[in-house]
């Protein structure tokens, strides 16, 4: 994949995985547009990436998605990175939280992709990059909606890749392991840093790896393929 002369819009770009991926594109000389809900966080991120643009938007809002498409018609790479995770049992989860988690993690990437495809298709080299999760392969017990939404995004990424294979738009998927971010604070061990993820992503992106299993997600993939009960046990350590 061509790695320069792009305009890259990254949702959830103010911190964590999004900011780390933005740094790779910025370092390669691309125009970077960071999207997030916090103006303060976006301003701090832009100081780290001189020349980067930012836009306050909630990707779960149809009006905000339409505004992004209208403001940035020049975009050649869309990175669907924004995500949230609630860790409640379904019986205790609120309907509002369930709907928001599905909207942010799955519906927003789908609808943003749909909205940007007409513009992306006008460029000789364009891409949609969906950040899903290793948990799309094997779910964990206390994050049912998060895992289901990422599994849906995993399936969507594959089928969208097939649908667009005759166009100039390439569809990449990044499947991270547990990453040290604000969302995972206080949970899990053996996390990788956003910078480590971004390094591995960048190598995959340069070499046209359309489906990128990052770090321990590669191990989980093979365990699930060869011994699915063991994979489930790993994600349900108390059982």
Element (H, E) at 222: helix 216-226
Closest Cα to residue 51, out of 71, 36, 29? 29
| 8 Å CB contact between 192 and 179 | yes
Backbone phi and psi for residue 189, each to the nearest 5 degrees, phi listed first: -130, 170
Coil/strand/helix, residue 76 = coil
Query: Over the range 171-183, which residues count as b (16 or more CB within 10 Å of their CB) and which as e?
Result: bbbbbbbbbbbee
Active-site position among 106, 116, 146, 172:
146
Q: Assess whether 146 carries a catalytic annotation.
A: yes
What residues are annotated to the active site?
146
């Amino acid at each position: 994949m061509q790695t320069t002369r792009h305009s890259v819009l990254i949702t959830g770009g103010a911190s964590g995985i999004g900011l780390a991926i933005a740094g790779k594109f910025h370092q390669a000389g691309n125009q970077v547009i960071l999207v997030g809900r916090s103006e303060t966080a976006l301003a701090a991120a832009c100081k780290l990436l001189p020349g980067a643009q930012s836009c306050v938007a909630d990707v779960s809002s149809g009006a905000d998605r339409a505004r992004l498409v209208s403001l940035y018609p020049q975009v050649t790479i869309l990175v669907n990175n924004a995500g949230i995770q609630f860790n409640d049992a379904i019986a205790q989860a609120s309907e509002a939280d369930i709907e928001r988690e599905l909207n942010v993690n799955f519906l927003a990437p789908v609808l943003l992709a749909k909205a940007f495809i007409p513009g992306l298709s006008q460029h000789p080299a364009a891409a949609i990059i969906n950040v899903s999760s290793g948990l799309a392969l094997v779910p964990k017990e206390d994050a049912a909606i998060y895992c289901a939404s990422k599994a849906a995004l995993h399936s969507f990424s594959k089928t969208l890749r097939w649908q667009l294979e005759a166009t100039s738009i390439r569809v990449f998927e990044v499947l991270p392991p547990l990453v040290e971010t604000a969302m995972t604070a206080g949970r899990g061990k053996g996390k990788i840093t956003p910078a480590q993820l971004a390094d591995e992503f960048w190598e995959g992106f340069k070499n046209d790896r359309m489906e990128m299993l990052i770090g321990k997600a590669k191990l989980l993939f093979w365990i699930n393929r060869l011994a699915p009960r063991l994979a489930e046990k790993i994600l349900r350590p108390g059982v």
